[in-house]
Amino acid sequence: MPIDFNANFIPNPNSNRTQHRFNFPSFLSAKKETDTFVKTVKTDNIAVDKVYDGIMISESSFGRIKKTGELAKLYTITNANGASVKLSSFGATVTAIEIPDKNGKIIDVTQGYNNVTPYETAPIGHAGGTIGPCANKISNGEFTLNGESYKLETNKDNGKSHSHGGSEGFDVKNWKSKILPDGVEFTYFKKDMESGYPGNVEAKVTYKFDNNNNLHIKYYAKSDKDTLINMTNHTYFNLDGADNTQENSVYDHIVKLPNSSKYTENNEISIPTGKIVGIEGTPFDFKTEKRIGDVIDSEFEQIKIGSGFDQNYCVDNYDGKTLIDVAEVKSPKTGVKLTVSTNLPGFQFYTANHLGKSAQPVGKSGSKYEKRSAFCIEPQIFPNAINTKEFEEKGILKKNQEYNREIIYSFENYDN
């Protein structure tokens, strides 16, 4: 789900040494911190799944963060087939996913920017970022935990709600980073009461991209106090290619949500009322495939509230452990199919209804991302669960316990 646009929002297996090959981007060659290395993963004799054999991981500069002066790093994981994922330390953000279409052409299917500055100074609704401490909305920015009341920044709905961790959420922090034998790990240490949330929290996000074009995202958190944790990813997808930035350019995408029979009803500012509603007979019924453009302009009241699709779906047969396929989205144009799997209880299906603000900067392809030019599938604990008695899982992380959840974005070609 969106947040209002704010333009002022300020190993070689036979060696113990990692082999590095250094390259220097020409425009930054005088700065030592911009050194780039490429690491080839070989899985023989080390405990790494063979599906990662031969991947390359590179590190480079993504630019200087204005607020802190820190350098943002960019990591590129390229698999043995030439597909790749780009990740920024700023926000532990997915900046690009480049995969083959049905003709073998590599296309980027995610919205984003070429350097850190637009992510910091002119964000487009958290594009690609790691959302936290608590994804989605909290009514009035207030919650009570262990009898103590907490007040958060109300950065959404004209001061009526707190959204996506506020203006100082996880997606605008520069995370520490570490290259793993098969991926990249980002770590952020949130201080007690930072952004209004209790507890000193160690948060980790691990990205792995395998040779079957599956992007594995694992979330971990541990706190020294009871707190709220509800982390997700906010990538904007256009499976026709990210250069399709024009308004309504996802209308031809075909969606199936095979394991959701219910959704959470919203009030007038898209906060759940507590009522869980069946999809049957509504525009939210994607048990069978539907073209987005055929249903997005329905006169259905919940569609009107979201100005399109912006709804939390409930995952059938959820148990907190099993990875369940929650979404399948296809592009007839490119033959690319995205499958989303998770062990979280819900997910926000959002059709980028609030992009296209006048102050919004241009994206990677040189044009601005317009309204409904992308979609998001954001697995999550239900919005405002801490304040909603009807929702069993509240998003509470108990002191010294561990939060472990996962999302997999899988890409393949299909016959159409």
Residues with Cβ < 8 Å from 8, sequence gap 6 or more? Answer: none
The CA distance from 233 to 88, in Å, is: 13
C-beta of residue 94 within 8 angstroms of C-beta of residue 76: no
**CB-count burial class (<10 Å; 0-12, 13-18, 19+) for 85:** buried
Residue 172 φ then ψ, to 5°: -120, 25
* Tokens representing residue 215 in the block: 């992007």
Angle at 251 between CA 110 and CA 215, to 5 degrees: 30
Structural element, H or E, at residue 149: strand 148-151
Torsion angle of the four alpha carbons 157, 160, 163, 165, in this order, in degrees rounded to the nearest 10:
140
Torsion angle of the four alpha carbons 393, 395, 400, 405, in this order, in degrees rounded to the nearest 10:
90
The CA distance from 92 to 172, in Å, is: 9
Strand partners, 161: 139, 156
Closest CA to 323 of 261, 406, 263, 232: 406
Residues with a known catalytic role: 234, 378
C-beta of residue 160 within 8 angstroms of C-beta of residue 141: no
**CB-count burial class (<10 Å; 0-12, 13-18, 19+) for 317:** exposed
Residues with Cβ < 8 Å from 351, sequence gap 6 or more? Answer: 250, 292, 296, 308, 309, 310, 372, 374, 375
Residues with Cβ < 8 Å from 273, sequence gap 6 or more? Answer: 264, 265, 266, 267
